[in-house]
Amino acid sequence: MTSLNDEVALLRTVPFFSSIDSGRLKLLAYASEKLAFEDGDLIFRKGEAENDTFFILDGAADVVDETGGEAITIAHLPRYSLFGEISAFCNVPRTATMRASGHLMVLRIPQEHFIDLIRSSPAMALQIIRVLALRLVDTTSDLVAARAEGHSVHNDASGSA
């Protein structure tokens, strides 16, 4: 078992959290839950109403679409990736299913603490905006490629997973 100070020291080494002051990191470590998953374990399912955000401390996770009874991996998120933030920001159900890809260690950040971090840390907010913008670029690129290949693509105003 690790101490609160050990958790803060770990978070301090993560580039995503490095700009946050020690007091806020301590609150984040205290309010968040570290969870472990094994390959294929379900983290959450598309459509669930839970709004916490997850941050990958170690390992990787897959973004999976299960439409039509078939599971298709649509993205692979490596270490230090954030996911679940769309539900936290927009209070909408999960837009995709998330599964562990190998051994996975995540930090589950309650919605209210995640939003508080965004409000209090402009550097972190800017980093999240960059992540979301890059995801939008990737999704738009995939959409253009699918249309060029002649695949039928339905326009969905809810955005990317």
Digit-coded pLDDT (tens) for 39-53: 999 999 999 999 999
pLDDT of residue 1: 59
Q: What angle do CA 15, 20, 30 make, to 5 degrees?
A: 100
Sign of the torsion angle spanned by Cα atoms 155, 157, 158, 159? positive
pLDDT confidence of 152, banded at 50, 70, 90? low
Identify the residue whose tokens are 């539900």.
87
pLDDT of residue 161: 45
Answer for the pair 50, 95: CB distance below 8 angstroms, yes or no: no
Mean per-residue pLDDT over the chain, rounded: 86
* Continuous segment of H or E residues that includes residue 68: none
| pLDDT for residue 88 is more than 70 | yes
Answer for the pair 45, 96: CB distance below 8 angstroms, yes or no: no
- Does the predicted TM-score (pTM) go above 0.85? no
| pLDDT for residue 159 is more than 70 | no
Backbone torsions φ then ψ of 135, nearest 5 degrees: -65, -40
Sketch the domain layout of the chain as residue ranges.
4-144
The class (CATH top level) of 4-144 is mainly beta
- Mean pLDDT over 4-12 rounds to 83
